[in-house]
């Protein structure tokens, strides 16, 4: 059974309250329930981690890869646009990763349109809301 780690960066814990016109009214717990249901259907086990701290996310990537996680789905939030450290951690993990963004980063502010971390991922899914995570799971099921 494949083990998939879902990592969320800053402000994702504010889903449901933060800019509902962009991110909707569902919460991170709602998202986790949706992911868990589809993962079970695909035969995956999933773990979830959210932190507003870049170093905590780096440490979690290292520890999960050391413990044998098979793949990552990541939404590093604002760190996606700035963090060489998270990109390096994903590359060092040598595991497939898919980056997901709830909103379409190409239609956001100029500083959000490029992802620093996507280069360490086999795909980036952007602008599909919560279903983007399901697409990421299905993509990982195919490898």
Backbone angles phi, psi at 40, to 5 degrees: -60, -45
23 is catalytic: yes
Is 73 in contact with 4 (CB distance < 8 Å)?
yes
Query: Distance between CA 44 and CA 80 in Å, rounded?
Result: 25
133 is catalytic: no
Eight-class DSSP state of 25: S
Give the active site residue among 8, 79, 81, 101.
101
- Taking residue 87's Cβ as centre, other Cβ atoms within 10 Å add up to 20
Give the active site residue among 23, 79, 81, 133.
23
Residue 20, helix vs strand vs coil: helix
Q: Give kind and range of the element (H or E) at residue 8.
A: strand 3-8
Please list the active-site residues: 23, 101
């Amino acid at each position: 059974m494949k083990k998939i780690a879902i990592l969320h960066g800053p402000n994702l814990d504010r889903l449901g309250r933060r800019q509902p016109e962009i991110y909707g009214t569902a919460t991170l717990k709602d998202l986790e329930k949706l992911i868990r249901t589809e993962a079970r259907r695909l035969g995956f086990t999933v773990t979830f981690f959210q932190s507003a701290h870049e170093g905590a996310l780096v440490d979690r990537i290292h520890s999960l890869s050391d413990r044998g996680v098979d793949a990552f789905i990541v939404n590093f939030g604002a760190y996606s646009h700035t963090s060489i450290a998270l990109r390096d951690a994903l590359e060092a993990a040598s595991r497939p990763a898919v980056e997901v963004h709830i909103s379409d980063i190409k239609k956001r502010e100029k500083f959000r349109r490029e992802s620093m971390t996507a280069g360490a991922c086999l795909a980036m899914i952007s602008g599909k809301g919560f279903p983007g995570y399901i697409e990421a799971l299905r993509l990982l099921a195919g490898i």
